[in-house]
């Protein structure tokens, strides 16, 4: 074999250089160039074992190439993705994995189909989705799903304008959306959403409201659910804060719409069940004492009960002011009645019915309705400190408006202790007083003493007393001693009667001044046919003594005495009767 070696084989013009070599001849060319950039070769080029031919393109069918092994594609069909088969020179066309050459890659087959994207060195796995730009999956205009090295599954939705929404649909209907702010909406209603306004909080905003309709985690300790409010309304620790109207309805007449229970359950203490608040402070409420079952309704100021209109427009019928005084009739003022500037119970109306108290008893026994008045000398509630002689036990006072006020008293009935009280012993008298014309204060007119003695005061300083006495059996005399306590003028009428045909009457009048003057003068001193005598004498001090002797059974006596003088008086203990 002959070989042609040259460093430069060049045609001096645009013509061609023809090299003809015998079979098995060789040619080595260090540089070969032509003006047409083309070498025309005959029908056969043979290269050595290590030869390489490099060209921009090869032209020809390649039918006569040798030394190349043919590859077979099994199950080949249009749009199938080709995979290895595990056998040399053999590929598979996957019927369950197709690509239509445009937009759709399909995985199909019987049983569960699975697409695995994994990292063999825990480097994470990523699916990049770039459907709104050039499809290169680069820059900031693509989205992806990533299984991170920490094991979390992450969804990123974004484009060149920043973060966008992640939307979940069924068919063409949107069911679930997470927008760029992290707000979660449902069914395409993006004005209503669940969001995370602050750390440790979740909120629900409806119809694009300015604040959430529900906010979980408000308050100082993030433990409050706020409805229509983004902050606590009263305390920093309430469980539920509601701003707006609330309605509760029970479908049962047995079960209430609202039940409350206080876990404090502290005995002898009112446990709060409902409190009302204003200005950030509790102003009142309703409480329950668990060990006694007592209920308390408390208010910082007056407590009103109204009827007659809807909402809160009714007329106040019953009012307890903040001092504990009760007003019935719709009024709020205090009226000075008879010198008592305020009363614990004040009823005021515009007619008889609205200004009256009715007490009626329906009882199949001897019981009756009652009005009870009482007094002790104690200074605390429930006291039983004993009262003293002349202490008032209770009064009924009548007053009238005089054009200026209602302070002036018109009449009174007052009960007073009439003697020394003790255990199960309460001697009492009733004093009846009226106000004379031209006066503003009452004057005692009549007294019923503890033993039933009746005393009257009619005009000026005169006082009239009525006494009576009677016994069973036969008696022959009676004496009466009367102590008047001070100097006085007097008129005494004394009468007695007994069985049978025993009677006597006498009138004594005069003046007592450490002795009796004109003591026995009077219009008459009469007796029965037996001439029973009635005598009157001084018995020391300012005392009178009347003595009568007679013969009779079951006798009775009547004594009437009128005395004058500012200091003179008679009470029950000043009369002594002696029958013999």
Q: What is the pLDDT of residues 76-102, one digit of tens each?
A: 888 888 888 888 888 998 888 888 877
Domain 462-579 annotated CATH 2.60.40: yes
What pLDDT, on the 0 to 100 scale, is given for residue 48?
A: 59
Q: Which residues are CB-neighbours of 270 under 8 A, at least 6 positions away?
A: 287, 288, 289, 294, 296, 298
The mean per-residue pLDDT over the stretch 195-206 comes to 86
Highest-confidence segment of 18-27, 53-62, 160-169, 566-575: 566-575
Q: Is the pLDDT of residue 534 over 90?
A: no
Which residue in the block uniquely carries the two structure tokens 């008045």? 373
Distance CA 375, CA 355 (A): 26
Place of tokens 């359950």: 265
Q: What is the DSSP string of 432-480?
A: EEE--TT-SS-EEEEEE-TTS-EEE--STT-EEEEEEEE-SSEEEEEEE
Asked if residue 222 lies in contact with residue 236, where contact means CB atoms within 8 angstroms, the answer is: no
pLDDT for 458: 74
Residue 31 is predicted with a pLDDT of: 53
pLDDT of residue 232: 73
pLDDT of residue 16: 58
Amino acid 43: pLDDT: 56
What would the mean pLDDT of 274-288 be, rounded to a whole number? 89
Cα 368 from Cα 357, distance rounded (Å): 16
The Cα 120–Cα 399 span in angstroms is 107
In Å, the largest CA–CA distance within the chain is 209
Q: Does the pLDDT of residue 280 top 90, yes or no?
A: no
Task: Categorize the per-residue pLDDT at 398 as very low, low, confident or very high, splitting at 50, 70 and 90.
Answer: very high
Mean pLDDT of 211-230: 79
User: What confidence category does residue 523 fall into, taking pLDDT thresholds of 50, 70 and 90?
Assistant: very low
Among the ranges 158-167, 433-442, 456-465, which has the highest mean pLDDT value? 433-442
Q: So what's the pLDDT on residue 490?
A: 93
The conformation of residue 411, written as its DSSP 8-state character, comes to E
SS3 for 572? Answer: helix
pTM of the model: 0.63
Q: Among 60-74, 151-165, 381-395, name the one with the lowest average pLDDT.
A: 60-74
Question: Domain ranges in the chain?
Answer: 1-54, 301-355, 372-450, 462-579
Residue 181's pLDDT is 87
Task: For tokens 């004492």, name the residue.
Answer: 289
Bridging pattern class, strands 345-347 and 326-328: parallel
CB 408 within 8 A of CB 399: yes
**Which residues in 271-291 are b (16+ Cβ under 10 Å) and which e?**
bbbeeeeeeeeeebbebbebe
Residue 14 has pLDDT above 90, yes or no: no
For residue 378, what are the contacts with CB-CB under 8 A and spacing of at least 6? 384, 385
Q: Where are the alpha helices (DSSP H) in 162-299?
A: none
- Spatial contact of 496 and 550, defined as CB atoms under 8 Å apart: yes
Q: Look over the chain and give the mean of its residue pLDDT values, rounded to a whole number.
A: 85
- String of DSSP letters for 365-395: SS----------S-SSTT------TT-EEEE
Per the CB < 8 A criterion, the answer to whether 499 and 478 are in contact is no
- Of 28 and 127, more confident: 127
∠ CA 566-567-572, nearest 5°, is: 115
Q: Provide, rounded to the nearest whole percent, the portion of the chain with pLDDT above 70.
A: 85
Q: How confident is residue 482, by pLDDT bands cut at 50, 70 and 90?
A: very high
Q: Is the pLDDT of residue 318 over 80?
A: yes
pLDDT exceeds cutoff 90 at 330: no
Question: Is the confidence at residue 23, as pLDDT, over 70?
Answer: no
Would you say 569 and 511 are in contact if contact means Cβ atoms under 8 Å apart?
Answer: no
- Which residues have a Cβ under 8 Å from the Cβ of 551 and sit 6 or more positions away? 474, 476, 498, 502, 530, 532
Per-residue H/E/C for 294-315: EEEEEECCCEEEEECCCCCCCE
pLDDT band at 18 (very low <50, low <70, confident <90, very high): low
């Amino acid at each position: 074999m002959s070989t042609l070696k040259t460093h430069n084989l060049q045609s001096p013009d645009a013509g061609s250089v023809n090299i003809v070599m015998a079979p098995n001849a060789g040619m080595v060319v260090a540089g070969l160039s032509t003006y047409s950039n083309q070498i025309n070769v005959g029908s056969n080029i043979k290269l050595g074992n290590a030869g390489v031919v490099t060209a921009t393109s090869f032209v020809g069918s390649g039918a006569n190439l040798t030394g190349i092994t043919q590859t077979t594609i099994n199950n080949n069909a249009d749009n199938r993705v080709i995979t290895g088969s595990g056998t040399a020179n053999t590929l598979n066309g996957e019927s369950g994995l197709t690509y239509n050459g445009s937009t759709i890659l399909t995985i199909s087959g019987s049983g569960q189909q699975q697409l695995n994207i994994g990292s063999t060195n825990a480097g994470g796995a990523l699916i990049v989705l770039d459907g709104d730009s050039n499809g290169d999956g680069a820059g900031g205009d693509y989205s992806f799903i990533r299984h991170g090295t920490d094991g979390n599954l992450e969804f990123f939705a974004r484009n060149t304008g920043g973060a966008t929404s992640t939307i979940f649909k069924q068919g063409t209907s949107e069911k679930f959306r997470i927008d760029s702010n992290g707000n979660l909406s449902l069914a395409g209603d993006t004005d209503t959403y669940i969001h995370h306004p602050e750390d440790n909080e979740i909120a629900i905003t409806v119809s694009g409201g300015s604040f959430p309709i529900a906010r979980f985690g408000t308050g100082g300790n993030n433990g409050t659910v706020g409805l229509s409010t983004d902050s606590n309304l009263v305390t920093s620790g309430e469980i539920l804060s509601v701003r707006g109207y609330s309605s509760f309805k029970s479908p049962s007449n047995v079960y209430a719409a609202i039940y409350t229970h206080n876990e404090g359950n502290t005995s002898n203490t009112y446990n709060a069940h409902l409190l009302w608040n204003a200005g950030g402070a509790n102003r009142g409420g309703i409480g329950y004492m668990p060990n006694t079952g007592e209920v308390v309704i408390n208010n910082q100021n007056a407590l009103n009960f109204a009827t007659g209109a809807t909402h809160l427009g009714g007329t106040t019928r019953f009012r307890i002011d903040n001092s504990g005084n009760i007003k019935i009739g719709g009024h709020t003022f205090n009226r000075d009645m008879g010198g008592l500037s305020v009363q614990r119970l004040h009823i005021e109306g515009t007619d008889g019915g609205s200004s009256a108290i009715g007490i009626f008893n329906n009882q199949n026994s001897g019981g009756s309705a009652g009005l009870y008045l009482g007094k002790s000398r104690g200074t605390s509630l429930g006291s039983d400190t004993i009262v003293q002689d002349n202490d008032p036990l209770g009064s009924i006072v009548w007053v009238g408006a005089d054009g200026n006020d209602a302070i002036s008293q018109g009449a009174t009935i007052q009960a007073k202790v009439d003697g020394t009280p003790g255990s199960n012993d309460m001697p009492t008298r009733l004093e009846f007083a009226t106000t004379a014309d031209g006066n503003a204060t009452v004057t005692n007119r009549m007294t019923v003493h503890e033993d039933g003695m009746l005393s009257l005061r009619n005009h000026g300083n005169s006082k009239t007393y009525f006494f009576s006495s009677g016994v069973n059996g036969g008696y022959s005399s009676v004496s009466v001693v009367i102590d008047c306590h001070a100097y006085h003028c007097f008129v005494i009428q004394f009468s007695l009667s007994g069985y049978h045909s025993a009677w006597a009457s006498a009138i004594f009048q005069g003046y007592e001044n450490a002795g009796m003057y004109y003591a026995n003068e009077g219009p008459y001193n009469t007796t029965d046919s037996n001439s029973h005598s009635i005598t009157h004498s001084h018995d020391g001090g300012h005392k009178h003594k009347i003595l009568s002797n007679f013969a009779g059974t079951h006798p009775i006596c009547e004594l009437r005495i009128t005395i004058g003088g500012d200091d003179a008086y008679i009470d029950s203990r000043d009369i002594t009767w002696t029958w013999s």
